[in-house]
Amino acid sequence: MITREIAWRLFAGEYNSSNLELKGEAERAPTYIVSPLGALVNRVFIVGVLTDLENIGSGEEPLWRARVSDPTGTFYVSSGQYQPEATAALSKIEPPAFVAIVGKTRTYSPGEGTMYVSIRPEKVVLVDARLRDYWVLETCKATLRRIEAMTDAKEMATPTIEELLKLGYPKELADGVVRSFEHYKDLDLNKYRSMVLDALKYLLPEYQIEAEGEVAENASAPEEIEEAEAESEEEKEEKVLAIISKLDKGGKGAAWDEIVDEVAKVGMDKGALEEVTNSLLDKGMIYEPVLGKMKRI
């Protein structure tokens, strides 16, 4: 029986943490991403806020890049001439907008051990906040089910598909959980539990006030330090921009790995670099022409 690939519901926080890919061996065999919680993903269904949208291709050969946010992070979406329907739909959207996307997983590995995931859309539709809230709740439930499966697997000496099937998990999840268990050693399930908690709170108005209160408290921290930091932030940005220019020899952007190596020489770690590049991306100073490459605008 030919079965259609499941459209998995998972948060950006889980999806983007995936770094295991299963390439199909036979011809036309599907490729899967194994998420940390054992989702065996070939297709996804996501709903979120489309925040950025840009055609980095040309009129004849469009290549749209979009970012879609959910309560846990950002999905990276790219759609070109081989997805005419999704590309046409994307081109008509004015961000910010609530969108639902059905799409296939894509990966990009700039080097050993690193993998970036994105989504190549099959369908893109405008939706409303109610549908987004529905998706967040459904995705919370789906994530909890996977956390439960991982917890059960942890309790087994060696988790097997058969044992998980006996506990009533569907075969795709059982398979994914066993693979995840082998690959993501000592996974911190609490991280994903609190991700779900935060997402649930996101749906409840009483918690939104509390969250804003927290921000206000933090804002009253000593101003001097902030200013000092703000200055050094700018300095850091300057440094990173200079490095990107230097590394971008072919005009196709600077490879992420090389940027990481270069900034290390001036005493900046990967975490700090990510903060700086995110800020630069937000300010529109740089962009990613392809996943894993940065280019100045």
Partner 1 sequence: MEKEELTPHVSEISRVLGNKVDEEQIWKELDTYLNLYRVSLETAKRSVVRKLGGDPNALTKGVQKPLAQLGPAEQSVDILAKVLSANRKEIELNGETKTIIFGLLADESATVPYTAWDADRFQFNRGDVVMVRNAYTKEWNGQPQLNLGTRATIESMDKDAVKLPEGMEAPSYSGGPTTCKVADLQEGMNSVSITVKVLFVDSRKLETPTGPKTVFSGMAADETGKVQFSAWHDFNLKKDDTVIIKGAYVKSWRGIPQLNFGERAEVGRAKVPLQGDDLAKPRRRSVPDIERVGGAVDALVAGVIVDIKKGSGLIFRCPQCNRLVQKGLCRLHGKVEGQPDLRIKAVLDDGLGALTAVLNKDMTERLVGINLEEALAQARDAMNPEVVREKVEERLLAKPVEMRGNVTSDEYGLMMIVTDAEIKVPEVRNEAAALLAEMEGAQ
Q: Does residue 192 touch partner 1 according to CB under 8 A?
A: no
Number of residues that bind partner 1 (CB under 8 A): 40
Q: Does residue 5 touch partner 1 according to CB under 8 A?
A: yes
Element housing 234 (H / E): helix 223-247
Whole-number Cα distances in Å, 257 to 114, 226, 252: 9, 30, 15
Query: Rule CB under 8 A: which of 43-102 touch partner 1?
Result: 45, 47, 100, 102
Contact track, partner 1, 155-174, x by CB under 8 A: -------x-------xxx--
Are 296 and 245 a contacting pair, CB within 8 Å?
A: yes
Q: How far is the CB of 65 from partner 1 (least distance, A)?
A: 21
Residue partners of 206: CB distance under 8 A and separation at least 6: none
The residue within the footprint of partner 1, chosen from 140, 153, 263, 294 (CB under 8 A), is 140
Q: How far is the CB of 7 from partner 1 (least distance, A)?
A: 4
Edge-first strand order for the sheet with 32-34 is 20-22, 32-34, 40-41
- Return d(Cα 100, Cα 121) in angstroms, integer: 10
Per-residue burial over 234-264, b = 16 or more CB atoms within 10 Å of its CB, e = otherwise:
eebbebbbebbeebbeeeebbbbebbbebbe
Q: How far is the CB of 9 from partner 1 (least distance, A)?
A: 5
The residue within the footprint of partner 1, chosen from 6, 20, 241, 255 (CB under 8 A), is 6
Binding site for partner 1 (CB under 8 A): 1-9, 45, 47, 100, 102, 122-123, 125, 127, 130-131, 133-134, 136-138, 140-142, 144, 162, 170-172, 193, 196-197, 200-201, 203-205
